[in-house]
Structure 1
Amino acid sequence: MSIYIGNLSYQVSEADVTAVFAEYGAVRRVQLPTDRETGRMRGFGFVEMSTEAEEQSAIDALDGAEWMGRDLKVNKAKPRENRGSLGGGNRRDSFSRRY
């Protein structure tokens, strides 16, 4: 399981996040997604810690805390939903049905 961190400053680095979360336990991984087109950080990230107890301790301490001028949103990450394809079906079939 991992922790979701929202409302991050765009200047934050993985080292910054690691340092803050390390106060609550061993940080296994930090992921800060970036925009594909601009390369700019998207303002949220994920942290994996060694144990659920460490994760919960970090969530309890940091949710709503001010950091780098922003109030953090910190909670357990939800599993990613399968969005499916954007095309809405097989194009060849829909083409052949119309003509």
Structure 2
Amino acid sequence: MRIYVGNLPYSVTDDELRDIFSGFGELASAEVIKDKFSGQSKGFGFVDMPNNSEADTAIKALNESDMKGRKLTVNEARPRAERPRGGGRY
């Protein structure tokens, strides 16, 4: 299951995100999303956990938990909505 983790402190690294979730079971990946130009964290990330019951437990335990003074938003990731290509200019 892919898990969305929002409202992350900007200083959090991929390894710190992995450490938070590793106590709940096996992880396939953990990534903090960064701006492609500046490299600065965008304040959210994704964690992939192959076992859905472990993922559900992690979501319930970590949603609205405190991390470095910020209340995390943790839920099952939803697919991105399709967006039209191009700027619409003629």
What TM-score do the two structures reach when normalised by structure 2? 0.92
**Structure 2 counterpart of 1:70:** 70
Identity of aligned residues (%): 39
Structure 2: distance between partners of 1:18 and 1:53: 18
Helix, strand or coil: the match of 2:39?
coil
**Structure 2 counterpart of 1:7:** 7
Structure 1: distance between partners of 2:21 and 2:37: 29
**Structure 2 counterpart of 1:47:** 47
**Structure 2 counterpart of 1:97:** none
Structure 2 residue runs of 5 or longer lacking an equivalent are none
Say whether the 8 Å CA contact 2:63–2:75 is kept in structure 1. yes
Number of residue equivalences = 90
Moved over 2 A (4+): none
Query: Rg: which structure is higher?
Result: 1
Alignment of 1:1-99 (within 5 A): 1-88=1-88, 94=90
Structure 1: distance between partners of 2:17 and 2:32: 9
Higher helix share: 1
Paired residue type of 1:50:
P
Q: CA deviation at 1:33?
A: 1.3
Q: CA deviation at 1:86?
A: 2.8
Helix, strand or coil: the match of 1:43?
strand
Structure 2: distance between partners of 1:37 and 1:15: 21
Structure 2: distance between partners of 1:33 and 1:18: 13
Higher strand share: 2
More off after superposition, 79-88 vs 62-71: 79-88
